């Protein structure tokens, strides 16, 4: 257990930030799941709409530091390719 005031404060801050980050990642996963289910169902218009809604959420995750930039780029690229494939 921490004994210094500064260490105790860091513990409190970490708990708050962890809760915020968990909520943010959960929200991003929800947006991704909407896109993936629309793709699996073969609904191109729904998938495209869900994709446009998911993009800013994922980019916000990068800017807030909960996701890595390359991870988001890879996921967006693969989702975009999957949506384009639905038309063919």
pLDDT tens, position by position, 20-71: 999 999 999 999 999 999 999 999 999 999 999 999 999 999 999 999 999 9
Token representation of residue 44: 């191109």
In this structure, are residues 39 and 86 in contact, taking their beta carbons and an 8 Å threshold? Answer: yes
Identify the residue whose tokens are 């210094």. 4
Token representation of residue 52: 């446009």
Q: So where are the chain's domains? A: 5-87
7 pLDDT more than 90 = yes
What span, in angstroms and rounded, lies between the C-alpha atoms of 46 and 38? 6
Q: Sorting pLDDT into bands at 50, 70 and 90, what band is 88? A: low
CATH class, range 5-87: mainly alpha
H/E element, 67:
none
What span, in angstroms and rounded, lies between the C-alpha atoms of 53 and 58? 9
């Amino acid at each position: 257990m921490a004994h210094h005031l500064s260490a105790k404060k860091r513990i409190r801050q970490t708990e708050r930030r962890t809760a915020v980050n968990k909520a943010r990642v959960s929200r991003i996963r929800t947006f991704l799941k909407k896109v993936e289910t629309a793709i699996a169902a073969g609904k191109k218009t729904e998938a495209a709409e869900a994709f446009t809604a998911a993009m800013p959420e994922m980019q916000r995750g990068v800017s807030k530091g909960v996701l890595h930039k390359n991870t988001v780029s890879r996921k967006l690229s693969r989702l975009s390719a999957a949506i384009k494939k639905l038309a063919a």
